[in-house]
């Protein structure tokens, strides 16, 4: 049987959504979770996102130099991840930098794509 405290905090899906918001979108910690633990986990997830962008878009990292991680983490703190490519493009756009993502159709123009055909 569902207790009074369960009804007050919402359905399982609502509680899970609140946890995800706290971890990846700067939401408040849901009831029953240690705020310090959630902050540490959220920090780790933000740095993981920054590392993904760093590996896939080195030109963006080069444009920001040693400030990349700090600026990216601050930017991403209240923005849930969509994809690494979309994150990099939105981050660059918000900073007024060129889009770091490859243009569509480039692969078909690369010389090695015709090899073996």
Q: What are 74-104's pLDDT values in tens digits? A: 999 988 889 999 999 999 999 999 999 877 6
Q: Are 84 and 52 in contact (CB under 8 A)?
A: yes
Tens of pLDDT, residues 3-56: 545 555 689 999 899 999 899 888 899 988 999 999 999 999 999 999 999 999
The residues near 53 (Cβ < 8 Å, ≥ 6 apart) are 60, 61, 72, 84, 87, 88, 91
Is 68 part of any domain? Answer: yes
Residue 86 within any structural domain of the chain: yes
Q: How far apart are CA 6 and CA 15, in angstroms?
A: 10
With respect to residue 104, please indicate whether it lies within any of the assigned structural domains: no
Q: Is residue 116 part of a domain?
A: no
- DSSP H helices, 1-117, are 4-9, 12-24, 35-56, 58-64, 68-76, 84-95, 106-109
Of the candidates 109, 87, 113, the one whose C-alpha atom is nearest the C-alpha of residue 100 is 87
- Residues near 56 by Cβ (< 8 Å), separated by ≥ 6? 84, 85, 88
Instruction: With cut-offs at 50, 70 and 90, classify the pLDDT of residue 112.
Output: very low
Tally the domains of the chain: 1
Per-residue DSSP letter, 79:
S
Look up the domain containing 93 and give its range.
4-99
């Amino acid at each position: 049987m569902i207790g009074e405290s369960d009804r007050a905090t919402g359905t399982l899906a609502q509680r899970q959504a609140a946890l995800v918001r706290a971890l990846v979108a700067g939401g408040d910690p849901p009831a029953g979770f240690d705020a310090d633990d959630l902050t540490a986990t959220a920090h780790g997830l933000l740095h993981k996102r920054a590392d993904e962008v760093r590996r896939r878009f080195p030109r963006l990292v080069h444009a920001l130099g040693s400030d990349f991680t700090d600026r990216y983490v601050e930017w991403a703190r209240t923005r849930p991840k969509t994809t690494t490519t979309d994150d990099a493009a939105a981050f660059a756009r918000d900073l007024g930098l060129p889009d770091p993502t490859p243009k569509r159709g480039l692969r078909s123009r690369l010389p090695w794509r015709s090899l073996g055909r």
